[in-house]
Structure 1
């Protein structure tokens, strides 16, 4: 069916390369690209459901990254002879109004798997169909396309390894799509205020505080397709880091211990299929080994959670998770709130956990190893409702993705995609992955005078040792929020 005038609504697909929504929309005679800063994605909100609580939806790190990504998308569209209209409003209100202004007969957009995004999609679709406008929703953000799964998504295994093996043996990854030639803007666009093409809402307008800037950060996460492709090229080709990815991925400090592609993947500035093609090229031109495979393995983990949320829906957001566990006694009293506050602030008195949380708060990013340990400590040692922690990560993470974030938290809390109880011995982990306490003292300089062998368990210091090293527990650094050793007894 020929389309005279179309709108493309960009969501978490902020790129021109390998964007099937853009390719299909570009077949129209005229095309208006649109991005909406939906006010429901910012400010405080109720988590919803039983045992609800209030939390902040999008913090400064991700809001700034997203704003930079939208700016970069607009620049790229302009370089391609088009433009981007930026609105601050609900899509189900903004898009029908623009359809009326431009007399558009079709709207194209990305479909996403979780409930909030799909609720918005349904509202948009209902409004547009009332006006007789065709709606085209496309799946764009996984390595393996939804239609190419070996079974319907409703039948995929709830454990990763069987899912991975079936996908690797039975599915293929589609080739990335080229950037299409873009049609002109609709003629009626001239009646729209030019400010909507020139001005993006500020963080303060969105109700978000500016993020802190900390020179101790591992990497500058600049938003946008251009920065994402630059990071991919630097990691693979300029610094040749991929060949040792499997050996370094559990690192804690530095720019290149891991790929750090996740912020650009999650906002759609990088296509996972494009990453896959670049890895294939790297294997052909440089080396193919466990590390090159492991990066694609991690992309399949990302896919797994996308399809899991499509399968299970809101069950993932329940305290008992998809396993509907009722046997865990979660603390939700005033003491739990105090413990959560100390955890969020990086003041638990357990240095490895505190360093992780302080890095998260200051930079919006922390290693996967760090995320697992911080999550395990809150959910398993403190027995604070795991969703409080997942929601806090939602606020703080520059690379937040609802499926990966809540899926991984549920997994660690024992209510998600693994029948085994998952917990981390955070002291043992600290000694294994931060043997010289370099990471901990990087983020907790108040402990820098301690010998490395004592840093991870300062509560064992005698009063004389505290005086000797100038670290008084309860004054210079907190006493533990819980008896660490005893807190493992209920888990064993």
Structure 2
């Protein structure tokens, strides 16, 4: 019996899964088994060019919990998640040969490394069906061609709103899946039976007691179940109504939506959030706070569409700009990473990041600006440190935000320097945040 292979990437959920739906339809149409696979690449465990491991302990634990939750959900449907460790270009073709699969379905991710992974599968003769499903608005629905996409976010947003575009209705979770193949899967190259082993994730301990996102606690744990529970909890008055007023706060679990970790792993889809937002506005009314939630989801879309348009150029030293090559000072960069720059608000933010794997969006802008504009260090080093540390690392948003702050993206102001003294006065005048982390 032949097999259809579905490869989970940054879409670790069952609801609103267009790619999985197509894989199921293909398996059913051809009378095939369905094999569900997740691959952890060794490059995530290797040191970066900047001298630290690419995937830090916080994200490892969060992703491991997410995979465990997905495994539980699949077992309830008489399926399983096969966990593989090794380069995608090696382990997926070997897996396909083992189960007699010639077609792989997966999410489409418009970032250079992720596209190279797909190309490697095509190069060995596999048929790969990629489906775009990570944004709010479908690329084909945009009121402009990809090559003519507005470069400034404000125009991007206004064009979408003027066209009255609405996201697709999110798909429900499947209630039935084709059976897995009967082959002995434990002999697969790179096979492991435990997500915590796969990611070398710690299983004990707890997050910092003052964490803004305590990911080892049930309410913030990785996985679709926690994501949907948080979604329901957040859409309770008055939290959405206050979002615009409180979103720049440096502390507090209800000051922001805190959707980003679950969005980053794909445990919740942007369209599912939008549907919940619509239901909330229908019951409680719309206001500036609820509009701003839509606004921020469009920012996320914008970074994804920029990747579709510019691709590898977003990872070049100059980015999209004509600025000179960035300078870099390794000792200053190390002081920044360790929260030892001597600038209290910056050091507090960097220590929070290292201790918890999370910090507020405002604080991310403050510390990124300080690295680039005050310490004159390479923005790519900062982006790499965020990738290593953040529990909610998202390749498109991370790259987009660092380009934005450094002036090497599409921001018409060509760089955003955040004055530390002003930021301290505006957001921590009483010193409570600094007292916690310093």
- TM-score normalized by the length of structure 2: 0.92
Q: CA deviation at 1:231?
A: 1.4
1:115–1:314 CA contact under 8 A, matched in 2 = yes
Are 1:343 and 2:340 an aligned pair? no
Tell me what 1:216 maps to.
210
1:203–1:210 CA contact under 8 A, matched in 2 = no
Tell me what 1:25 maps to.
23
Pairing partner for 1:158 from 151, 164, 169: 151
1:78-227 → structure 2 map (5 Å cutoff): 78-127=75-124, 130=125, 133-170=126-163, 171-190=165-184, 192-193=186-187, 196=191, 198-200=193-195, 202=197, 205=200, 213-221=207-215, 222-227=221-226
Pairing partner for 2:416 from 399, 422, 425: 422
Which structure 1 residue ranges, 5 or more long, are not aligned?
Answer: 47-52, 445-492
RMSD of aligned Cα (Å): 2.2
Q: Which has the higher contact order (CA 8 A, sep 6+)?
A: 2
Q: CA deviation at 1:350?
A: 1.0
Q: Distance in 2 between matches of 1:81 and 1:169?
A: 46
How has the CA–CA distance of structure 1 residues 188 and 412 changed in structure 2, closer, same or farther, with 3 Å as cutoff?
Answer: same
Tell me what 1:39 maps to.
42
Q: Distance in 1 between matches of 2:434 and 2:382?
A: 21
Helix, strand or coil at the partner of 1:398: coil
Tell me what 1:69 maps to.
66
1:64–1:203 CA contact under 8 A, matched in 2 = no
Q: Distance in 2 between matches of 1:38 and 1:393?
A: 19
Q: CA deviation at 1:360?
A: 0.4
Q: Deviations over 1:116-155 (max 9, x none)?
A: 111111102222xx2xx43211001001112211122222
2:85–2:192 CA contact under 8 A, matched in 1 = no
Tell me what 2:55 maps to.
58
Q: Deviations over 1:322-358 (max 9, x none)?
A: 01312x7x443xxx22211111111111111011101
1:340–1:378 CA contact under 8 A, matched in 2 = yes
2:60–2:200 CA contact under 8 A, matched in 1 = no
Helix, strand or coil at the partner of 1:136: strand
Tell me what 2:233 maps to.
234
2:366–2:420 CA contact under 8 A, matched in 1 = yes
Tell me what 2:271 maps to.
273
Helix, strand or coil at the partner of 1:322: coil
Q: Distance in 2 between matches of 1:339 and 1:356?
A: 16
Q: Distance in 2 between matches of 1:374 and 1:135?
A: 40
1:84–1:197 CA contact under 8 A, matched in 2 = no
Helix, strand or coil at the partner of 1:56: coil
Q: CA deviation at 1:168?
A: 1.7
Q: Deviations over 1:439-458 (max 9, x none)?
A: 111111xxxxxxxxxxxxxx
Q: Distance in 1 between matches of 2:76 and 2:238?
A: 31
Are 1:305 and 2:303 an aligned pair? yes
Q: Would you identify which runs of 4 or more consecutive aligned residues in structure 1 move more than 4 Å? A: 190-197, 203-206, 208-212
Q: Distance in 2 between matches of 1:258 and 1:229?
A: 16
1:276-287 → structure 2 map (5 Å cutoff): 276-287=274-285
2:250–2:433 CA contact under 8 A, matched in 1 = yes
Pairing partner for 2:382 from 364, 383, 389: 389
Q: CA deviation at 1:382?
A: 1.3
- TM-score normalized by the length of structure 1: 0.82
Tell me what 2:317 maps to.
319
How has the CA–CA distance of structure 1 residues 35 and 204 changed in structure 2, closer, same or farther, with 3 Å as cutoff?
Answer: closer
How has the CA–CA distance of structure 1 residues 176 and 191 changed in structure 2, closer, same or farther, with 3 Å as cutoff?
Answer: closer
Helix, strand or coil at the partner of 1:213: coil
Q: Distance in 2 between matches of 1:241 and 1:367?
A: 16
2:41–2:85 CA contact under 8 A, matched in 1 = yes
Q: CA deviation at 1:183?
A: 3.1
Q: CA deviation at 1:210?
A: 8.7
How has the CA–CA distance of structure 1 residues 151 and 210 changed in structure 2, closer, same or farther, with 3 Å as cutoff?
Answer: farther
Q: Deviations over 1:7-47 (max 9, x none)?
A: 1100000000001011111121321111111112222133x
Tell me what 2:242 maps to.
244
2:5–2:37 CA contact under 8 A, matched in 1 = yes
Tell me what 2:402 maps to.
409
Q: CA deviation at 1:186?
A: 3.9
2:16–2:172 CA contact under 8 A, matched in 1 = yes
Q: Distance in 1 between matches of 2:198 and 2:81?
A: 19
Q: Distance in 2 between matches of 1:92 and 1:201?
A: 23
1:235–1:242 CA contact under 8 A, matched in 2 = yes
